[in-house]
Amino acid sequence: MEHYIYIFVREDLGPVTAAVQSCHAAIECSSVFSLKDLPRHPAVIILGIKNECKLRRVCNYLVENNIQYVGFQEPDRDDELTAVATQPITGSDRDIFKKYQLLKYQLLGSNNKI
């Protein structure tokens, strides 16, 4: 069975900071939930949340639905909660995440070259 980790990150941080904070949450998740014990590397889904207040609401929603999670608080931002990563999720337990949207940023403008 495929495992999924959901990372919620604040959209008000900007694209580069959101990417870094998502990575911090993923690292915390890997140590807390022993991902090495899974049969395969889990898929990662990154969801955008407008701000810290709404991210805290996500945490409450996860608790209400018996989903364990780990949050990352950025020391360089006065320990603001910047991202949250869930335990590995499988099957129909994933249905509670349908109401959230994927993180979307336009990272490159038309004048930028790779």
Give the start-to-end residue ranges of the domains of the chain: 4-97
Contact 88, 41 (CB under 8 A): no
Which fold, 4-97? Answer: Bit1 (3.40.1490)
CA 80-90-70 angle, to 5 degrees, is: 20
pLDDT of the chain, 114 residues: tens digit per residue:
899 999 999 999 989 999 999 999 999 999 899 888 888 989 999 999 999 999 999 999 999 999 999 999 999 999 999 999 999 999 999 999 999 999 987 655 544 443
One-letter amino acid identity for 8? F
